[in-house]
Structure 1
């Protein structure tokens, strides 16, 4: 194989690919641990810094805002510097953020810590996806994307159990300093093991001038498949993100009256359900690429139905219903990965980083809006602190999911029409049900001969 052979042309994964995959998953898992570490300590954070629900939600919102804002720049930097460098840099920033948070005594310092964490987190997932695409055959990438996303979510289990146990046993500083040390160790391991491409394969880097970089970003944005990926990523994961990142634990404990142990068990079930369902969904995407949007729409419908039943239930919901809610929310994570598959199949390799970054903005933008609005609605109802959380206030606040799902579904349907039109115009591919626009376009092509 010569130095110009694309990695995706390999019929099988080269030696060392699975070690690279394992370290990449570990790096992303540590990013998830850092991302969700505040959600399981929301009550302790409110007491430590003397803040209400709106201010508490601003911690997570700021972190996600930084994450979302950096996605396109990170995609460009991956194309230029390489994914391995970005994973290591992201780990260093997250370790620094956790250490600052461990020592923080004032809310302003804690805010700065979450900015560092959001910036490092922004660099990790899309970089690992780029490495996976370089090391494995295209037919395996949809399933492995799910594997990275969902096994990486095991980092949330580490935040739910070991971090919470350490927090209660040794206190705030020790718990977050330990998270910082573990993240730093992961960054070192990533530097030692990860490579942008297998031996003998040219790394997919591009040191383009700014003018051409901006052209790639514009080209990725103008591609209908990228927009469909963005819309899919917007619509599917935000309910689970808000639940896992900040509001699920208070909702279950203060709103539904569960014990902390039961709430932790449900959050763990959320992670495990996603990990089990993700590879199955990835296999479906690989076998039926022309039915990806129906999977997205179906997952949104399942989540909306589950939340509607829980919120309409008189009083606290029974435990089996809460289990079903958690399982439904877990479907959003695997469904969001379909957005990255749209980016991969709709763009050439040289702008895949930009396209992936654009798609990744979607779910984090909707997630930060959800987290912020829930906090604001709790404050407006006079339930802004852990002592004043009530089930009735949570039910009003959690209803904010539904208008966001509406926006997401409209965006998916519009982008789907445009993507199908492009497929029909460029490749003669017809995706049932064929739209009137595609019929007209195909008829015009036949008339032109």
Structure 2
């Protein structure tokens, strides 16, 4: 009996060990999102340390995000050529180096430079990670991406708390420097573990190259008549692929516009107290655990049915959210926000799973990079559009626009499902 127990125990441990690539990839993504979400709560501390204005800090953070966005495509192309493991390890080491620079006292220009370096390092991860996980867990891609996105989302909950705790420490230097010391050290440890463990989980992963043929470079340059960037652009000749990218752009516009202004909308337009508005706003992120379920479901029933269901829920909830504004009912608005969160978060990992099923292996990294660049571009534009509309036409027309764009995304994906 003891021998049987020992065998079962070893079998269970071996089963869990197979998910080391997923856990390490998700932890690096958590760290990347943690670094991003830590900056806004630190603006007050930066002002105390450097004596700069909100405008200057906002511009510096915009630089961080622009570099992050700009890294999506080149990191994907590099992954196609030299392997996903190499790119992810390089990214986390770069981000960790940027964080460690902030440990010592230095001028404000060093802070800005470190932010840009961290933007580049963290920007090298997600696009490449989606493809890596689809290769490491081909039968459980949806579940893996659901876990990845869920852990990343909760970095937004942990980062502000960590900033508060760091600020309360009695140290000879500002507490936020200790925060970056820990983040940088953890990043280097994760990078080392990733380099040792993850190649074992990938087909043909020797020396950081993870294509099934052993080297993406052969595939990526095999067609002299269709070289370089032209191969990535050629994907958009496929109408179904282009339609899905359009749908994801519409979704990204809606989600980012709503996330940016939902608290202000609830106080200014719905007349709720600030504390109530913030509580409801938190519920939008708290339900992100649904990504685990939607990813798992997509592995079982297919990606498009789950995508359509998630987008339909997000659309209906967004329409209800705007329509119920005049009632001033916190309960009704909260239920609508939860519906938006369930639909939006449920869509995101399945979107990635659908894309990796659609894109050819040889150009998967760069192609995902193109799509993510478009999504992030739409997401970056959305707050500006909503802000301008809220001042010229009012908040409700601006949010009706958001409801309209997510409805377009739903209709496009429903059309893809109907013609599958």
TM-score band (shorter)? 0.7 to 0.9
List alignment gaps of at least 5 residues for structure 1.
Answer: 1-12, 382-394, 421-430, 439-449
Q: How far does residue 180 in structure 1 lie from its aligned partner after superposition? A: 2.9
8 Å Cα contact 1:97/1:116 also seen in 2? yes
Q: How far does residue 126 in structure 1 lie from its aligned partner after superposition? A: 2.2
Distance 1:42 1:306 in 2: 35
1:333 is matched with which residue? 345
8 Å Cα contact 2:67/2:116 also seen in 1? yes
8 Å Cα contact 1:234/1:408 also seen in 2? no
1:38 is matched with which residue? 39
Distance 1:402 1:77 in 2: 40
8 Å Cα contact 2:319/2:400 also seen in 1? no
Write out aligned runs for 1:264-303 (5 A).
269-275=283-289, 277-286=290-299, 287-302=301-316
Number of aligned residue pairs: 388
Residue 359 (str. 1) matches residue 371 (str. 2): yes
Residue 403 (str. 1) matches residue 404 (str. 2): no
Q: How far does residue 50 in structure 1 lie from its aligned partner after superposition? A: 3.9
1:112 is matched with which residue? 113
8 Å Cα contact 1:91/1:184 also seen in 2? yes
Q: Deviations over 1:196-224 (max 9, x none)?
A: 75366782141134963323312333333
SS at structure 1 position matched to 2:315: helix
Write out aligned runs for 1:7-26 (5 A).
16-26=17-27
1:5 is matched with which residue? none
8 Å Cα contact 1:220/1:226 also seen in 2? yes
1:96 is matched with which residue? 97
Distance 1:411 1:33 in 2: 29
SS at structure 2 position matched to 1:212: coil
8 Å Cα contact 1:87/1:128 also seen in 2? yes
Rate the CA distance shift 1:402–1:102 in 2: closer, same or farther, 3 A.
Answer: farther
Rate the CA distance shift 1:325–1:404 in 2: closer, same or farther, 3 A.
Answer: closer
Rate the CA distance shift 1:228–1:176 in 2: closer, same or farther, 3 A.
Answer: farther
- Bigger shift: 180-189 or 325-334? 325-334
Write out aligned runs for 1:174-253 (5 A).
174-195=178-199, 197-198=201-202, 203-204=210-211, 205-207=215-217, 208-209=220-221, 212-237=227-252
Distance 1:280 1:331 in 2: 12
Q: TM-score, normalised by structure 2?
A: 0.74
8 Å Cα contact 1:285/1:292 also seen in 2? yes
1:344 is matched with which residue? 356
Residue 305 (str. 1) matches residue 319 (str. 2): yes
Q: Deviations over 1:326-383 (max 9, x none)?
A: 66335423312333223222222112212222222243223222345567789x89xx
Rate the CA distance shift 1:330–1:131 in 2: closer, same or farther, 3 A.
Answer: same
Rate the CA distance shift 1:349–1:191 in 2: closer, same or farther, 3 A.
Answer: same
Distance 2:73 2:192 in 1: 25
2:66 is matched with which residue? 65
Q: 369, 378, 397: which is aligned to 2:381? A: 369
- Bigger shift: 22-31 or 337-346? 337-346
Q: How far does residue 294 in structure 1 lie from its aligned partner after superposition? A: 2.0
8 Å Cα contact 2:247/2:410 also seen in 1? yes
Distance 2:388 2:87 in 1: 34
Q: Deviations over 1:30-87 (max 9, x none)?
A: 11111211244455556665434x6655455433332332222221111111111111
Distance 1:371 1:105 in 2: 33
Distance 2:101 2:383 in 1: 23
Q: How far does residue 23 in structure 1 lie from its aligned partner after superposition? A: 1.0
Q: How far does residue 122 in structure 1 lie from its aligned partner after superposition? A: 1.8
Rate the CA distance shift 1:318–1:365 in 2: closer, same or farther, 3 A.
Answer: same
Rate the CA distance shift 1:340–1:243 in 2: closer, same or farther, 3 A.
Answer: same
Rate the CA distance shift 1:113–1:174 in 2: closer, same or farther, 3 A.
Answer: same
List alignment gaps of at least 5 residues for structure 2.
Answer: 1-13
1:441 is matched with which residue? none
Distance 2:101 2:398 in 1: 33
Q: How far does residue 165 in structure 1 lie from its aligned partner after superposition? A: 1.9
Q: How far does residue 293 in structure 1 lie from its aligned partner after superposition? A: 4.8
8 Å Cα contact 1:269/1:326 also seen in 2? yes
